[in-house]
Structure 1
Amino acid sequence: MRHRTSFVVVPGSRAMRLRALGLAVAMLGVAPVQAQEAPSVKDRVVSDPVLVPMQRAATRASAGRLQLAAQPGEVDANPRLVIRLTNGFIFNPATQRYDKVRLRSYVAEGAPSNAFTPFVAPTIVTRPGDTVRVSLDNQLKPEPDCKPSNINTPHCFNSTNLHSHGLWVSPSGNSDNVLITIRPKVAFEYEYNIPATHPAGTFWYHPHLHGSTALQVSSGMAGALIIRGERPPTPVATGDIDTLLRNDDGSAYRERIVLLQQVAYACRENPDAPTSPIRKNPDGTWACGENDIGTIENYDQLGFGTWGPSGRYTSINGQIMPRFTGAVAGRVERWRNIHAGIRDSVNLQFVRMRPSANPLSLRTLKSHAKWIAQNCTGEPLTQFEIASDGLTHAKAIQRTATLLQPGYRSDLLMVFPEAGEYCVIDGNLPAASSVSGEPESRRLLGTVAVGAGEPVKGEPQDWLQSRLVASAERWMPDDVKARVIADLNDGLQLQAFLPHPTIADGELTPGGGQSVEFNIAGGKFMVNGEAYDPAQARDLVLGNVEEWKLTSLAGSHPFHIHVNPFQVSRILDPKGVDVSVPGSGDPDYDGTKGIWKDTLFVKGGYTLYVRTRYQRYIGEYVLHCHILDHEDQGMMQNVRVLLPDGQGGAVGNGHH
């Protein structure tokens, strides 16, 4: 039985219910300038991401599911997103005021307007076995002459489509089809039939029209897509990690959606000419006066070497250097981190902050390293990663920094050991680990206010382990309880919650194998020596299992493929050493052997081997670099999954 999905709007101080469809809201052209003033610079509290369970029919309580305790704000609606230019504000630490901006955005029909953070798309929350319908109404200005002579020249900035990043759904028709174009003044409904066997996890959605993807995503057109799971493990099948991460009353652990974005807005010398020079400060950073309006209308704001010198900041849920509230010492929280940016790597760390520190004193990115050294003086907190790209690990990965590349997701279990303020830091990175190709110094992303609770005693792993074991004692079915507890006591193993079985050597299809080589040469962005050609596709056969070899000849690039995720087999550094094994010390790959992902950073000089199964779906989709301006300029390739012909080959399109 299919059910409609919940739809939750997370920007603002609380979850906002969708009103009835047809509510009177402005849907055409540019949203009017908000009457209210920009918020106070001291009022930068990041919103709590409330994940709302679906309204379910009584039959959903059967079949061995463990229902999570209901939460307020349930909505039974199919989301309708209007795409339009929206006026709003983004805080600028350099001036200690809010810059006015006008950017493309998703506007949820019926949702109250929010001038503070309008550039964070609503969060869609659903479950395996459900149907998600997302209606897009493109109300941007028509562009009658937007077809360039070269398809790999950025173009058609007001045309769009939608990609459900990481979902295991059909790539055809009106499902996760990124090969269609939704022109201005056209409405279209996407429908994702999520399999009953789909993993629960953290996914996201964003535009994916070749030529305009980077510009629209950088405008803030991105949102979380959470699949909640209620399937406990059984003696013969794995279950959803959600069924373990529960409090004594049955509610889920406190969750935070952390949507990281890089909104590269700029003000022009001539506001009416998007190709006129960007207005700059004496130090070269981008300037916007009190009466200017920042926009994103040109790819000179998005290309290589632009983000760092711009002086712009990575935002969290639409806020610059915000404050997280509501944390309690000793309480386990689940941080669902989503890198929805396009131009900067994020090395996520949490460090205790000196009580007298004042984040408002930070005015330039250059001052961050010194400020952090003076005020973020504790040891980095231990993070426990339980999933990457929405897919649960076989064992929690323990570290003090989590490196997020564009397109990555990371589910972390966090425990703040005592009350006080904590720094959320984007840590140092060597050039080889940065999508910019340059070393990155430390920056402050935000702060966390932690209230009094139960101070952590002993080692963080022991503390977390004891709470997960207690949860397993209370909530796991009797026929798997002992096994789950034994795994947890053995280094926080999560074998009972794996989304996919490991791909063994013997499962690989004989004679199969694929290669992807990224390169930039002669002004071309290429995959396997060719820039993107929509008339060409790599043919694969449904049911085959293959190993892929990923390399890069120029720079480093996040590899992303739609529909079918992949499992890391081995990653060889330039000396041929496998750095995917635990303890390798490589900031990108340490401990990645065996994990499942849909996006993976390919460092120059490294050779990556991943394995994947072509399951369930036929049709055409894409693989590409997730530095999205690289994708828009040609670093993409179509992939076509065909039915087998019964003789070791495939049946092509047409009637034969």
Structure 2
Amino acid sequence: MSTSNHHGARQPSATAIGPADPKRRNVLRWSLGLSAGLMLPPLAGCGGGGDVSEVTADTLPEAPRIHARNGLIDIDLVAAYGNRSVQFAAPSQNVYPGASRSVNAYLRSYDNGLPAPTLCLNAGDTLRIRLQNRLPANDAKYSSLSFLNYQNSTNLHFHGLHVDPKEIRPGVYGDYMVDTPDAGVPPGADRQHEIALPANHANGIYWYHPHLHGSTTTQVLGGMFGAILISTPRNDFDLPDEIRERIIFVHRLNLSDKGRSDTLYDYTGNNNSGFVLNGAYQPTIVMRPGEIQNWHFLNADVFYPFNPVLDEHTLWHYARDGNAFPRQYRPVNADSVTRMDGVLWPGSAMYPGNRNSMLVQASKTPGTYYLRCAKAPSGMDPEIVARVVVEGTPVDMDLPSPHRLPLYNNYQPITDAELAQHGGKTRAVILSVLSKDSSLLAQPIPEGEEWFIPATDNSSLANFVFSTGNAGGKLATFQSALSTTQIVALNAVEEWTLYNMNGYPHPFHIHVNDCYVVKVNGEDIEPYWADTIPLAPNGTQDRPTSITFRSRFTDFTGKFVWHCHALDHEDMGMMELVEVVA
């Protein structure tokens, strides 16, 4: 399987254009209508290699990679502020080069890197991380809501991993995400994590980031995130060494004129940038004619979708959220990238938390091409996010057969019969941003509970309630005593339908157990596995849209959460507990 030849792309001229939507506060319109382990330089890669052109510099930054030794990575991870020079550009510039300016930013990050180290393990390995919080003391007075006054307390989530969510022994934690905002890891404190990957864990791309209710937004947007790349002893989809592997975090910076974004209120009032790739604005990626590379895109943005398309090329999409498609590639090109209506939703669009793994074969025609973010619901206008330069000595490479893609026993289709044999329980869950006076909420709101930001705080989020609940009941926020807890039996197989009452396609993310998505708006689709599911957009209270998935709640008991991965929505309460009981 190979792509066809292409002609070199024309380079559009740069023009002085303004931002299409510079303020994050405008987005509500969508809501409502390292010791053990081996560190290697990036190009050594978790299975990556390849030549670099001597003519054009490749400027896409790459994080250092730490490889497990003897089945173990054991590192310290330091969360702290640091100065970083960034190129800040208005979003939606569909030109190259886009107009930008250098800003001296003061941002939170891990190990003073953007992104943090990539952790490379095999299924069955153990990951030990001592999280060290070296952020400054919390400001206890910035918000009227107490749970928002811990912006420098933190914790650590292992996004997408099927691992134990509990405190596994005294003082040692798995993927523990049930801290209260005033707990977690406060400034100056440490926490020890130990993550034992099951021997049958799927290979693919995952990531780690903070997840303390009320402070997640500002910590992630500053750069507190890194990738986890899992291989398997079974060599599932073992790509040839000559195929270079790139891990590409995409997100928008959100900064004040002084290069800061310290609180949730700062975030909603500051300027958005264009997308940056591993922290770089419009970097250059160099490929040889005919070369194949393996790109893992991770959307680490707080709110916006990323919908990649490469001019005059096809991106061969083979996995979503670390889960390989069954013996097939899904082509992404100029013709297919906009196809996401109805049962095609969400197409190739990645909402916050999503990861897309794609093979790309460079044209045999040397030239300059552009990687763009195409338009998606709730996204900004198209923009050029990178320049791809094809030059040098051609290479003769063939795409690996999609028949080599792995089929995991634990990620086989969930049939009607399996669902019935394991209890057949169904749930209907609602996600909605509502006015504080909505009849869908418990009225009156219980006295003393913090459901919404008051107008006196002068925030664009004021008077909105970010709510969840079971269909047929009243909705509430996570911080309320009325919040729903979904109790699930160990080894149960369940079917959940998620209803969206807003225009924004809330990205539903559930911890520990992945989802087998089977319907969009009640219609059968070609099913797929994911851990982050953007809900069908354009729902209303009268006509909500829906997504239906099935899941196996296997291996682990304990409490964890599901939530909207638009992180300001999560911080304001669009989250619920799940408890798996034996």
Taking structure 2 as the reference length, the TM-score comes to 0.74
Q: How far off its partner does 1:497 sit?
A: 5.8
In structure 1, distance between residues paired with 2:129 and 2:556: 21
Residue type at the aligned position of 1:46: L
Q: Is the 8 A contact 2:297 2:357 kept in 1?
A: yes
Q: Please state if 1:102 is matched with 2:106.
A: yes
Residue type at the aligned position of 1:441: D
Which of 558, 566, 573 matches 2:507?
558
In structure 1, distance between residues paired with 2:468 and 2:263: 25
Q: Is the 8 A contact 1:146 1:156 kept in 2?
A: no
Residue number in structure 1 paired with 2:51 = none
Q: Please state if 1:139 is matched with 2:99.
A: no
Which of 578, 592, 595 matches 2:528?
595
Q: Please state if 1:263 is matched with 2:258.
A: no
Q: Please state if 1:569 is matched with 2:569.
A: no
Q: Please state if 1:302 is matched with 2:267.
A: yes
Residue type at the aligned position of 1:554: N
Which of 398, 403, 410 matches 2:356?
410
Residue number in structure 2 paired with 1:426 = 373
Equivalenced residues, count? 462
CA deviations 1:481-532 (Å, max 9, x no partner) are: xxxxxxx5xxx57364676111110111335112221011122100111111
Which of 303, 319, 323 matches 1:343?
303
Aligned in 2, Cα 1:230/1:501: closer, same or farther, shift over 3 Å? same
Paired residue secondary structure (1:337): strand
Aligned in 2, Cα 1:6/1:614: closer, same or farther, shift over 3 Å? farther
Residue number in structure 1 paired with 2:243 = 253
Residue number in structure 2 paired with 1:549 = 497
Aligned in 2, Cα 1:414/1:175: closer, same or farther, shift over 3 Å? same
Q: Is the 8 A contact 1:5 1:126 kept in 2?
A: no
Please identify which structure carries the higher strand content.
Answer: 2
Which of 514, 536, 560 matches 2:427?
514
CA deviations 1:378-421 (Å, max 9, x no partner) are: x3x11111110011110221221331111000100111122222
Percent identity over paired residues:
29
Q: How far off its partner does 1:427 sit?
A: 1.2
In structure 2, distance between residues paired with 1:133 and 1:50: 18
Residue type at the aligned position of 2:126: T
Paired residue secondary structure (2:307): strand
Residue number in structure 1 paired with 2:85 = 89
In structure 2, distance between residues paired with 1:468 and 1:497: 19
Q: How far off its partner does 1:150 sit?
A: 4.4
Which of 467, 482, 489 matches 1:526?
467
Paired residue secondary structure (1:214): helix
In structure 2, distance between residues paired with 1:518 and 1:9: 43
Q: Please state if 1:614 is matched with 2:553.
A: yes
Q: How far off its partner does 1:252 sit?
A: 6.2
Residue type at the aligned position of 2:158: S
Q: Please state if 1:448 is matched with 2:367.
A: no
Q: How does 1:218-367 map to 2 (within 5 A)?
A: 218-232=221-235, 240-241=236-237, 243=238, 245-246=239-240, 251=241, 253-267=243-257, 293-303=258-268, 310-325=271-286, 327-351=287-311
Q: Please state if 1:540 is matched with 2:466.
A: no
Residue number in structure 2 paired with 1:165 = 159
Which of 176, 182, 198 matches 2:201?
198
Aligned in 2, Cα 1:538/1:177: closer, same or farther, shift over 3 Å? same
Q: How far off its partner does 1:144 sit?
A: 7.0
Taking structure 1 as the reference length, the TM-score comes to 0.66
Aligned in 2, Cα 1:77/1:607: closer, same or farther, shift over 3 Å? closer
In structure 1, distance between residues paired with 2:262 and 2:124: 40
Paired residue secondary structure (1:142): coil
Aligned in 2, Cα 1:148/1:177: closer, same or farther, shift over 3 Å? farther
Residue number in structure 1 paired with 2:581 = 642
In structure 1, distance between residues paired with 2:407 and 2:568: 39
CA deviations 1:22-72 (Å, max 9, x no partner) are: xxxxxxxxxxxxxxxxxxxx9881135675653348xxxxxxxxxxxxxxx
Residue type at the aligned position of 1:398: P
Paired residue secondary structure (1:264): strand
Aligned in 2, Cα 1:548/1:602: closer, same or farther, shift over 3 Å? same
In structure 2, distance between residues paired with 1:390 and 1:9: 23
Q: How far off its partner does 1:127 sit?
A: 1.2
Q: Is the 8 A contact 2:63 2:117 kept in 1?
A: no
Decide which structure has the larger Cα Rg and report it.
1
Paired residue secondary structure (1:217): helix
Q: Is the 8 A contact 2:135 2:187 kept in 1?
A: yes
Residue number in structure 1 paired with 2:75 = 79
Residue type at the aligned position of 1:266: S
Q: Is the 8 A contact 1:619 1:641 kept in 2?
A: yes
Aligned in 2, Cα 1:299/1:52: closer, same or farther, shift over 3 Å? closer
Paired residue secondary structure (1:294): coil
In structure 2, distance between residues paired with 1:495 and 1:84: 39
Residue type at the aligned position of 2:325: H
Q: How far off its partner does 1:533 sit?
A: 3.2
In structure 1, distance between residues paired with 2:128 and 2:102: 35
Structure 2: runs of 5+ lacking an equivalent: 1-34, 46-55, 91-98, 168-172, 338-347, 437-463, 470-474
Residue number in structure 2 paired with 1:112 = none
